[in-house]
Every structure is written in C-alpha cells, then in structure tokens.
Structure 1
Amino acid sequence: MLFHMIAGGPQPVAPFSHAVETDGFVFVTGQMPDTPDAPGVLPEGIAAQTRNVMANLATVLGGLGLGLEHVVMARVYITRFKEDYAEMNAVYRSFFAEGRLPARTCVGVTGLAYDALIEIDLIARRP
C-alpha cells in the first residue's frame, strides 16, 4: 500500500492521507470546499463549494498522475439535500465527459467539517 500526501494539495482537516493506493485502486479522502491557499475559508453557496471540492479532488488525482476520467466511484455528502441537490448535480456533472459518469452515492448529512455544505470522496483506478 502507498500512502500519498500531495505537495500543494488541500490542507487536511484531520489526521489522514490525501489518498491511499493499493492494487491499482486509488482511494481519495473526502475533500472540503476550501482551497490550499485559504484553508478553512469557504465560498458561499453549493455551486461554488462543489466547484472547489472538485478542484481539490482533481489536484489530488493530478499529483498522482491521474485525472477525473480515472474515477470509478464517488460519494457525495451534502448538508442541505433537498435545497442543494439539483444545483450540486449540475456542477458535478460538468466535471465529467458525457456518458462517462462514475458510479455514485449521494447522502444527506447533518454536518461536515468547517460547516461545509458538501464533501466528496472518490475511488479511481489506474489504467
């Protein structure tokens, strides 16, 4: 197993690796909607927070020589499910090629670190 911390990646909010790799699979820790330059500072609204989360996930994958096209599974956690689900989906979908959406689970939760509206984790597979 390989435990990865990506230089210039998002600042961890807890004790974890950015990703763990085993047998060609890469498990990417759930990312928050802050940026590496401003840890803990969140933009307003689900659209902006979803974009930041996806950018952080892409940064971690990029640090491993992978991209969003290598994602096989995503888990999305949102705190305002009914209010934000449709808008989050529109932003999320824009990060993937048409017809190439990973498998996904999306759940409503009661709270996330930094009082974020969204967190997403991924499983990717090396080609």
Structure 2
Amino acid sequence: MKVHFSKDAPKPIGPYSHAIQSGNLLYCSGQTPIKPESMKIEVTDVKGQTHRAIKNLQTVLQEAGLALNHVIKVNVFLTDMENFSGMNEVYALCFGEHLPARSTVAVKGLPYDALVEIECIAEFKNNVE
C-alpha cells in the first residue's frame, strides 16, 4: 500500500490521504471545489464547482502518474439533485468519451457548504506498487 499526497491539491481538511494505492488500483478521496491556493470555495454555481472538483481530482491523479482516462469508478455527491444536469454537463465535458462507472447520490451537506464532491477509483495499466 502506498500513500499519495499532492502538494498542488487542496490540503485535506481531516485525517485522510489524497489517495491510497493498493495493487494496481488508486483510491482517491473525495475532492470538493476548494481552490488549493486559498483553501476556499470561490465559485457558487454547480458547474463551476464541478469543474474545480474535477480539476482537484486530476491533480491528485497526476501526482500518481494517472489521468481521468484511468478512472474506472466515480462517486458524485450532490447537496441538491436539482443540480444534477449542471454537474452532468461539466462532467461529460471533462471525461469526454471515457465513461467510467458512476454513482450520483444526494447528501444532506458537504464541507464548506460545497454543492458537489467527487471521488474515484483509477487503475494503473501495470501493477506498480
């Protein structure tokens, strides 16, 4: 097992790692739309927040040598399912033709009153542990 931490992603706001590699899988902790430099959410709409959350997730993946096209499973958490279509629009743009398995659920609340949080599991092509 290997811990991954990206200095360019938002600092964890709790006792957890950005990602854990086990075998050929990378389990990424949920990313919210916190801007790493300010540690604040600077956009208020779900499209902007989704873009920032995915950008933060990409930063964590890149630290491990991976990209969005290595993602095999995504979990999206929304505070309001009314935001599903806006999130989905940005998600589709970011992932393009790569369509990992995905679950989207509504939650009562997220840290810093974020509208969206996104976590994923990615796969290394070769077992690199």
Q: Give TM-score scaled by structure 1 length.
A: 0.95
Find the counterpart in structure 1 of residue 94 from structure 2: 95
Superposition CA RMSD, Å: 0.9
Partners of 2:37 and 2:76 lie apart in 1 by 23
Name the structure 2 match of 1:86. 85
Q: Which runs of 5+ in 2 are unaligned?
A: none
Question: TM-score by structure 2 length?
Answer: 0.93
C-alpha contact 2:4 2:63 (8 A) present in aligned 1? no
- Give the Cα–Cα distance (whole angstroms) in 1 for the partners of residues 71 and 88 of structure 2: 16
What aligned pairs does 1:30-109 form with structure 2 within 5 A after superposition? 30-81=30-81, 83-98=82-97, 100-109=98-107
Check conservation: 2:41, 2:114, Cα contact below 8 A: no
Amino acid paired to 2:89: A
Find the aligned partners of 1:92 and 1:55 in 2 and give their Cα distance. 11
| Whole-Å separation in 1 of the counterparts to 2:60 and 2:16 | 13
Residue 121 (structure 1) shift: 0.3
Q: Verify the 8 A CA contact 2:53 2:117 in the aligned structure 1.
A: yes
Mark the runs of 5 or more structure 1 residues left unpaired by the alignment: none
2:111 maps to 1:110? no
Q: What is the CA-CA distance between 1:80 and the residue it aligns to?
A: 1.0
Cα separation, 1, equivalents of 2:15 and 2:112: 15
Q: Secondary structure at the match of 2:41?
A: coil
**Equivalent pairs, count:** 125
User: SS at 1:7's partner residue?
Assistant: coil
**Structure 2 counterpart of 1:122:** 120
Task: Give the superposition deviation at 1:42.
Answer: 3.3
3-state SS of 1:107 partner:
strand
List 4+ stretches of structure 1 deviating above 4 A: none
Does the residue aligned with 1:89 lie in a helix, a strand or coil? helix
Q: Which amino acid aligns with 2:90?
A: V
